[in-house]
Amino acid sequence: MPRELVYFSPTLSPRDYRRKVSDIFSQELSRQGLRMTSQRRRILDELMNAERHLSEKEIYRSLASSGIGRTTVFRTLKVLRECRLVEQVSGTDRPRFELRWERPHHDHLVCISCGHIREVRWPKLEAIQERTCRKIGFVPKWHRHEIFGLCAACSR
Amino acid sequence: MPRELVYFSPTLSPRDYRRKVSDIFSQELSRQGLRMTSQRRRILDELMNAERHLSEKEIYRSLASSGIGRTTVFRTLKVLRECRLVEQVSGTDRPRFELRWERPHHDHLVCISCGHIREVRWPKLEAIQERTCRKIGFVPKWHRHEIFGLCAACSR
DNA sequence: ATGCCTGCAAACGTTTTGCACATAG
DNA sequence: CTATGTGCAAAACGTTTGCAGGCAT
């Protein structure tokens, strides 16, 4: 069973933040009898250094030159999802992968013109959701909330 | 450019409802210089008669016996999406297709155990979304809101 | 040393495309 | 009649799996 989702304090420095996420990955792996490898480390780094949410293809293209195979990217993303460190979200086109340990949960505004993804936090929405789910006996595990449209720049 | 999304009054009888959706499809097609065919009619019928949201595979399996090819199902679903009559949503496994003209917009509670999809209407959520989007200049076109978890039956 | 991990290639399932024929308008 | 639509087969992708060798522990 995966550990509980815990958020970092925003006071963590970028360096410490990366170290911490890396440590959690190692711990999760050994807890499951799995091993930390250079490939897994690199794929996680790639996700941590990215500005946007990456697709499998983008990760592969960045790392292929260092000899990492496509299969490994797929398999590592699967492991990261099982560790609840990464979440799969649906972009305009292909699935994309997002680190869950970065910031509190947020939803996405996806621009259908330029592809830009903006993150929004909606605590009020989350509260309403939780209440409704409780009322009808649905036990929510995670959710995906994406609004597609035109960003401010593209709508002019 | 696609027409605006309009909802039917719930007082429409099932028969009239079907006729109306069909008519809208024909109009949309001719507006774009495309043609209504028996295959397209059947695929739309299949979606209108379904209880659940169907996948491409399910539609194909139902209609293959009447000689409709897989390619045609894919192409018709694409046309239906472009006409804004059908929306593609992500099930637990494969993409599923949902008629947009059936009822007011709703969100989905997807059970990760039995796969059941329950629909919820959240006008309050929609209002909050709209307000936020307006504030930051984002023009929303459509959205996808799916909560994954355990339905009442499976959570016991 | 053992057992998990990796990369390759091959298998698989889904979606798209090229082409000749059919058909709606 | 003409341009669009259809079905087939093949191609093109995305993703998974089997296997021989590599490496973390």
Q: Are A114 and A103 in contact (CB under 8 A)?
A: no
* Prediction pTM value: 0.69
Cα–Cα–Cα angle for B94, B96, B100, rounded to 5 degrees: 160
Amino acid at A141: K
Query: Quick one: DSSP state of residue A137?
Result: T
Query: Quick one: DSSP state of residue A53?
Result: P
Cβ of residue A28 near strand D, that is under 7 Å?
A: no
Cβ of residue B3 near strand C, that is under 7 Å?
A: no
Q: pLDDT band at residue B9, thresholds of 50, 70 and 90? A: very low
**Of B71, B105, B111, which Cα lies nearest the Cα of B91?**
B111
Within 8 A by CB and 6+ apart from A34, the residues are: A79
Chain A residues whose C-beta sits inside 8 Å of any chain B C-beta: 90, 109, 111-112, 118, 120, 122, 124-125, 128-129, 132-133, 136-152, 155
Residue B76's pLDDT is 98
Cα separation, A151 vs A117, whole angstroms: 9
Q: How far is A125 from chain B (nearest CA, A)?
A: 6
Residue B30's pLDDT is 95
Q: Regarding beta strands B107-111 and B139-150, do their DSSP bridges make them parallel or antiparallel, or are they unpaired? A: parallel
Residue B5's pLDDT is 38
Residue A92's pLDDT is 58
Please say whether the structural domain A14-99 has been given the CATH code 2.60.40.60: no
Q: Could you say which residues of chain A have pLDDT below 70?
A: 1-14, 90-93, 101-104, 115
Among B111, B133, B146, the residue with its CB nearest the CB of A143 is B146
Examine the pLDDT at B151 and tell me if it is beyond 70. yes
Q: How far is A115 from chain B (nearest CA, A)?
A: 13
Q: Regarding beta strands A86-90 and A95-99, do their DSSP bridges make them parallel or antiparallel, or are they unpaired? A: antiparallel
Within 8 A by CB and 6+ apart from B135, the residues are: none
Task: Provide the 10 A C-beta neighbour count for residue A146.
Answer: 19
Tell me the CA–C1' distance in angstroms for B67 and C13: 21
Residue A27's pLDDT is 95
Each residue's pLDDT tens digit, B15-34: 787 888 899 999 999 999 99
Each residue's pLDDT tens digit, B64-116: 999 999 999 999 999 999 998 998 876 666 788 988 875 667 788 877 777 67
Residue A4's pLDDT is 37
Q: Regarding beta strands B54-55 and B95-99, do their DSSP bridges make them parallel or antiparallel, or are they unpaired? A: antiparallel
Amino acid at A84: R
Bin A67: left if φ > 0, else alpha if -120 < ψ < 50, else beta.
left
Q: Regarding beta strands A107-111 and A139-150, do their DSSP bridges make them parallel or antiparallel, or are they unpaired? A: parallel
Cα separation, B105 vs B89, whole angstroms: 13
Helix/strand/coil (H/E/C) assignment for every residue in A12-34: CCHHHHHHHHHHHHHHHHHHCCC
Answer whether B139 sits within 8 Å of A133, measured CB to CB. no
**Of B138, B107, B81, which Cα lies nearest the Cα of A149?**
B138
Question: Where along chain A do its domains lie?
Answer: 14-99, 107-155
Examine the pLDDT at B11 and tell me if it is beyond 70. no
Residue B59's pLDDT is 97
Residue B102's pLDDT is 57
Residue B104's pLDDT is 64
Cβ of residue B86 near strand D, that is under 7 Å?
A: no
Cβ of residue A72 near strand C, that is under 7 Å?
A: yes
Cα separation, A112 vs B35, whole angstroms: 28
Residue A105's pLDDT is 72
Residue A156's pLDDT is 84
Each residue's pLDDT tens digit, B45-66: 999 988 778 999 999 999 999 9
Residue A6's pLDDT is 40
Residue B17's pLDDT is 79
Q: How far is A82 from chain B (nearest CA, A)?
A: 15
Each residue's pLDDT tens digit, B113-139: 776 778 888 888 889 999 999 999 998
Stronger pLDDT, B93 or B154, i.e. the higher one:
B154
Residue A76's pLDDT is 98
Please say whether the structural domain B107-155 has been given the CATH code 3.30.1490.190: yes
